[in-house]
């Protein structure tokens, strides 16, 4: 399960420069916080669904 969350976090970090290009640092930090909060919420149910 931890590996799946690491993969979601890496996807988030890889997409960050493309999504937040030209935005102020406050929005970039908000994006990281938003994705960091929702990664476990989305990742854990997805993990249980995929492992059935």
What DSSP string describes 1-52?
-HHHHHHHHHHHHHHHHHHSTT--HHHHHHHHHHHHHHHHHHHHHHHHHHT-
* Cβ proximity of 16 and 28 under 8 Å: yes
Res 27: pLDDT: 84
pLDDT(44) > 80 = no
Res 16: pLDDT: 76
Domain ranges of the chain: 25-52
pLDDT(42) > 70 = no
Res 45: pLDDT: 67
pLDDT(48) > 70 = no
């Amino acid at each position: 399960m931890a590996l799946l969350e690491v993969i979601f976090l890496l996807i988030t970090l890889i997409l960050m420069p493309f999504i937040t290009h030209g935005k102020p640092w406050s929005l970039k930090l908000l994006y990281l916080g938003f994705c960091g909060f929702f990664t476990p919420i989305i990742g854990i149910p997805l993990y249980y669904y995929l492992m059935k």
